[in-house]
A = this chain, B = another copy of it.
């Protein structure tokens, strides 16, 4: 846990319901790459893209935070190390953004759209992988490119400070 606090946090957002295998693979790969970069994965802690990405991170030595809508930490998917019960329902979508340095959106429906919009309100850079087409999203063509972009953004930010 040394310097745990200094680790970069990458938010991963996307649909919580059934997702197709292509989307699952994208999310898993993003989680895996986050782990390999020694960053923390932050997500909403439930199923679908959140679970696939968390699994990818956990099976590759990563650390995962899941910010849940309900009152119970055991609602989290099995790949969440640090479940946080928010108790505020889908308002917690903003909490996922507030707790990420950069955000990657994968697929997703209306919940993901709230998170994309909150990212843009709070000036968190957001990278899109096969997701909503909203002005302000930085498009990536594959997980590798998404992660590359994410870390370039973080590097630029820290050099600006």
List the interface of chain A (C-beta within 8 A of B): 1, 4-5, 63, 65, 67, 71-73, 76, 80-91, 94-95, 98-99, 110-111, 113-114, 116-118, 120-122, 134, 136
A86, B114: Cα distance in complex, Å: 17
Instruction: Assess whether A84 is in contact with B99, with CB atoms less than 8 Å apart.
Output: yes
What's the number of copies of this chain in the assembled complex?
4
Report the minimal beta-carbon distance from A128 to chain B, rounded to whole angstroms: 14
Report the minimal beta-carbon distance from A37 to chain B, rounded to whole angstroms: 16
Instruction: Assess whether B82 is in contact with A87, with CB atoms less than 8 Å apart.
Output: no
Residue among B82, B111, B114, B120 making CB contact with A5, cutoff 8 Å? B82
Question: A85 and B110 in contact (CB under 8 A), knowing A63-B1, A91-B91?
Answer: no
Residues of B within 8 A of A113 (CB): 113-114, 116-117, 134
Instruction: Assess whether B120 is in contact with A117, with CB atoms less than 8 Å apart.
Output: no
Instruction: Assess whether A87 is in contact with B91, with CB atoms less than 8 Å apart.
Output: yes
A113, B114: Cα distance in complex, Å: 7
Report the minimal beta-carbon distance from A68 to chain B, rounded to whole angstroms: 9
Instruction: Assess whether A117 is in contact with B121, with CB atoms less than 8 Å apart.
Output: no
Q: List 5 A-B contacts (CB under 8 A).
A: A1-B1, A86-B98, A87-B94, A110-B120, A111-B121
